[in-house]
Amino acid sequence: MSGRETAQRLGISHTNARYRLRKAGLKTNSHKRANRLPPQTHCALCEKFLGENPKNSRLCMACRTKIRRIRTKLAGIELLDGVCARCGYEESPWAMDFHHTGNDKNFSIGSIANKGWSVVKAELLKCELLCANCHRLTHCAREDEKLLEEVANYRGSFLPLR
C-alpha cells in the first residue's frame, strides 16, 4: 500500500502514517513515484532550456506569460460579446482589439498578464470591442481630411510605385 492508503486504513493523517512507517523502518509501495516521467528539460512550446533544475513545469516563464495574455484577451472578447461593435465581424479573436472610449484609460489591455480579473474587467468595461480594421479607421479618421489636404499640396520628391 501507499502511505496515503495506509493512513486511510488506520484512520490517521498521512503525515502521522509517514512518521510511524519511517520509525518502524518500513517502506511503502510508492507506485505513483515509480510511474512519474522524468522532469522536462525544455519548454513544450518554444523549446527553450528550462535550466538545470526545472520546477515541475512544461513551460518557460515567457510562454506562461503569453498564455495568460491570450486567456485574458479571449475572456475579454467573451465579456464584450465577441462581435465588432461597428461592423459585426466575429471570425478570428486575433483580429479583435479593445478600443477605450473615454479618457480614463489606466492601462493597455494587450500588455497585461499579471493583474487580477476584477481589475482587468473594470478596464474592459471602459472599452468597446472592434475588429482591427474598424479600430484602425477610428484612430486615423481624426486627422484624415487635414492629412489628405497636405498630401495633395505636398511638393517634395515623389517615388512612384513600380
Where the chain has pLDDT below 70, the residues are 30-38, 53-54, 141-143, 161-162
The confidence score (pLDDT) of residue 63 equals 92
Residue 92 burial by Cβ neighbours in a 10 Å radius (0-12, 13-18, 19+): exposed
Task: Provide the mean pLDDT of the chain.
Answer: 85
Q: What is the rounded CA–CA span in Å between residue 77 and residue 133?
A: 16
Distances, alpha carbon 78 to alpha carbons 11, 22, 112, 121, in Å: 47, 53, 17, 11
Q: Is the pTM of this model over 0.75?
A: no
Q: What is the rounded CA–CA span in Å between residue 106 and residue 48?
A: 33
What DSSP element (H or E) covers 120? helix 117-124
The confidence score (pLDDT) of residue 25 equals 87
